Amino acid sequence: MGAQLSFKSLSMPLGMVVGALLCRPITWLDGVAGGMLTPVFIFTMLFFTFCRVDARKIRFSMMHLWLILLQLIASFLIYYALAWADVVVAQGAMICVLAPVAMAAVVIGAMLGANVETMAAYSLLCNLVVALVAPYMLHAYGNGECTMAQILQKVSPLLIAPFFAGQLCRFGLPKVAQWVGNHSQISFYVWLLSLAVIVAKTTTFLLDTDANLWIEITLAIISLLICLLQFKVGRMIGRRYGDAAAGGQSLGQKNTVLAVWMSQSFLDPIASVAPTAYIVWQNIVNSYQIYRMESRKARKS
């Protein structure tokens, strides 16, 4: 049990270190693969997770409403709170709040004991609402035009497709779905591969970015504070509805790949340092949460 605990608690930081150290060759490999490594990994891990989800049990609740309202209102407020000092910093902070929940949040949430149907419901709701709201915000506070179709084009294949594939497998190939569901822990290891690729690409971007060092440090610090606050507030809201893990992951774990793309495409590209740093912070938080959960299990056994 101790070896298992040690590996799980250190695996995400290890994946980030590997991605950072091997950023050039991994980025090159992803380029050779046409940028498809991350999409394939995300589809695979979500398929394994969604084979456990019974679509008939998916329900939207007041918890989902409070989470999405908080996310939207806070993204407006944090922009105006910081824009007077520096617009680029304000953009980076805004995108760290506005970004929808990560696809992998369902995977990590399930590991932490969250209800997977609750997580799946919020993933669908949050990504759709952000696709509706983000074009306005990116146009109003950014440097370019953005449409709902552009965001859905980035989100749908990696969220809707594995969800429907998992449900088709449940009803058409129940034995296969049962095997996949029983081995859903594989999705965690697929996520580690995806994490290494994401960190490698973002590290390469940072190395090639010519930006003011103090702006980069400020963006990284603000993204850390936002990350910790969102996990904390999310857990508080989730606890009121009987699922602290689902609340924390839903609000705290962000689709940073989408956030970086939105920053580089429609905001000042330097603002993408904030969601890039958020990748590191949220996975440190996730590692700590997994460590605490495994520690509790070890004490009980």
Q: Domains of the chain by range and CATH?
A: 39-300 (1.20.1530.20)
Contacts of 61 (CB under 8 A, 6+ apart): 118, 121, 241
pLDDT category at 2 given cuts 50, 70, 90 is very low
Residue 124 pLDDT > 70: yes
- The structure tokens 């805004």 sit at 94
Q: Are 83 and 262 in contact (CB under 8 A)?
A: no
Contacts of 173 (CB under 8 A, 6+ apart): none
Least confident window among 91-100, 175-184, 225-234: 175-184
Q: Whole-angstrom distance between the N-terminal and C-terminal Cα of the chain?
A: 9
Please report the pLDDT score of residue 82 as a whole number: 94
Query: Whole-model pTM?
Result: 0.82
Give the C-alpha separation, 261 to 275, whole Å. Answer: 10
Please report the pLDDT score of residue 211 as a whole number: 67
Distance of CA 173 to the CA centre of its chain: 29
Please state, for a pLDDT cut of 70, what percent of the chain lies above it.
Answer: 91
CB atoms within 10 A of CB 36: 11
Give which of 69, 263, 258 is closest to 151, Cα–Cα: 258
Contacts of 299 (CB under 8 A, 6+ apart): none
Task: Out of 136-140, 208-212, 295-299, give the one with best mean pLDDT.
Answer: 136-140
Cα–Cα distances in Å, from 194 out to 9, 19, 108, 211?
Answer: 17, 10, 13, 27
Contacts of 19 (CB under 8 A, 6+ apart): 26, 195, 196, 197, 198, 199, 200, 203
Please report the pLDDT score of residue 23 as a whole number: 86
Cα–Cα distances in Å, from 234 out to 51, 81, 259?
Answer: 26, 21, 19
Give which of 254, 260, 264, 275 is closest to 127, Cα–Cα: 254
Give the C-alpha separation, 63 to 91, whole Å. Answer: 27
How many Cα atoms are found within 13 Å in the side-chain-facing hemisphere of 112? 27
